[in-house]
Amino acid sequence: MIPVFAHIGDEHGRRRSVARRTADAVGGAVRELLQNEDLAMGPGLMQSLDPRVRLTTVLALAVTASLVRSVWVLAAVFVATMVVAAASRVDVGAFVRRVWASAGLFAVLLAAPAATSCFTPGRALLTLGPLTTTAPGLAIAVRLVARVAAGAGVGLLVVWTTRWTDIMRALTSWHVPDVVVAIFAMTQQQIVTLMRTVEGTHLARESRMLSEGSTAETRGWVVERMAFTARKSLKTADDVYDAMLARGYSGAWPSIVRLRTRGRDWLWLCGCAAFSAAVIGADKLVAR
């Protein structure tokens, strides 16, 4: 039997091994995190705003998108997120691809049955074999997909233009308990550390295996790696705590927040409030 060479699987169009797939996924996530940090540190509209204003307006836009009923108004909200992304020096093509890859396609798959007469009776538009697409069903499905895309676009604005440290600074200035902010900040750091560990162990297996092995054997190895990661996580907690004590930790977290709201922040806040009001007003007009 010719073994499947796990380490060259992707280069030769063969199926990638489980270890390679996990390593690629984890490595991709780490790269994405670092790229997001680079993007968020660069120049741009969103990046220049006070993080508190950024988070407040993005949350307001997400709520606004959830209140809209008209597909056309939802499409306008999505276009607005693309405009803001472009003004924030984000690659608009990548932005749209990411929205559809992360949420849009899944929404299409989930909404598709609702477009048929099985779930939504009504005027038939198209019949393919036993399935009939109805007009009200199509309207329900398109509205769900448009709403999910608009919501994902708004969320992606935060992900791509806001550094994690900025989110922590905003939370601190909003008087979120220090211990909560500390847990969030440390978690993000430890995620990167653990992901590097997971990527390393999977690449190590990939590099020393001629064939992937049976499904059961690979599953056993993956479970062992999970246990190793759990052990490492819990043991590291003790080391981190000892390091905190060594650096003078006494239960309180010093705050070094220096956030200042400037004229452009107030302007952006007012602009977003006006946009939200216009969106809801337009939706009422269209829905009427």
Partner 1 sequence: MHIPDGYLGPQTYAVIDVAILPVWAAAASRVRRTLKSRQVPLMALGAAFSFVLMMFNVPVFGGTTAHAVGAVLIAVLLGPWAACLSVSTAIVIQALAFGDGGITAIGANCLNMAVVMPFVGFAIYRLVSGPAPSLRRKIAASGLGAYLGLVAASISAGIEFGLQPLLAHDAAGHALYAPYSLAVAVPSMAVTHLVVGLLEAAVTMGVVAALARSDPALVAMRPASRPLTWLWAGLGALILLTPVGLLASGSAWGEWAPAAVKGMVGYMPAGLQRMSGAWTAAMPDYAPAFIKDPVVGYVAAALTGAALIAAIIWLVGIALSRRDDASPVPTDDEEPS
Name residues contacting partner 1, limited to 167-226 (CB under 8 A).
167, 177, 179-180, 182-184, 186-191, 193-195, 198, 215, 218-220, 222-226
**51 contributes a contact to partner 1 by CB under 8 A:** no
The residue among 33 and 259 lying less far from partner 1, judged by its C-beta, is 33
Q: Is the dihedral of CA 38, 39, 40, 42 positive or negative?
A: positive
By CB under 8 A, tell whether 154 contacts partner 1.
yes
Q: How far is the CB of 197 from partner 1 (least distance, A)?
A: 8
Indicate the residue among 220 and 281 with the shorter CB distance to partner 1.
220
Do residues 61 and 272 make contact, with C-beta atoms less than 8 angstroms apart? yes
Please, what is the minimum distance in Å from the beta carbon of residue 251 to partner 1?
6
- Print burial letters for 43-72: b (CB count within 10 Å at least 16), e (below 16): ebbbbebbbbbbbbbbebbbebbeebebbe
- Kindly tell me which of 183 and 267 has the beta carbon lying closer to partner 1: 183
Shortest distance, position 36 Cβ to partner 1, whole Å? 7
All residues at 6 or more sequence positions from 206 whose CB lies less than 8 Å from its CB, including other chains: 6, 7, 17, 19, 20, 23
CA-wise closest residue to 198 among 9, 34, 31, 25: 25
| Measured distance CA(85)–CA(89) in Å, rounded | 7
Candidates 42-50, 239-247, 255-263, 270-278 — which segment interacts with partner 1 by CB under 8 A?
239-247
Measured CA to CA, the distance from residue 70 to residue 146 in angstroms comes to 9
Minimum distance from CB of 87 to partner 1 (Å)? 19
Provide, rounded to whole angstroms, the least separation between the CB of residue 158 and partner 1. 6
What number of chain residues touch partner 1 (CB under 8 A)?
88
Region binding partner 1 by CB under 8 A among candidate stretches 46-54, 140-148, 259-267, 275-283: 140-148
Distance CA 160, CA 37 (A): 8
Complex with partner 1: residue 121 or 264, whichever CB lies closer? 121
Q: CB of 263: closest distance to partner 1 in angstroms?
A: 27
Binding mask 62-81 for partner 1 (x = CB under 8 A): xx-xxx-x------------
What dihedral angle (degrees, nearest 10) is formed by the CA atoms of 65, 69, 72, 75? Answer: 20
Reported as type and span, the H/E element at residue 131 is: strand 131-134
Cα 4 to Cα 213: distance, rounded to the nearest angstrom? 9
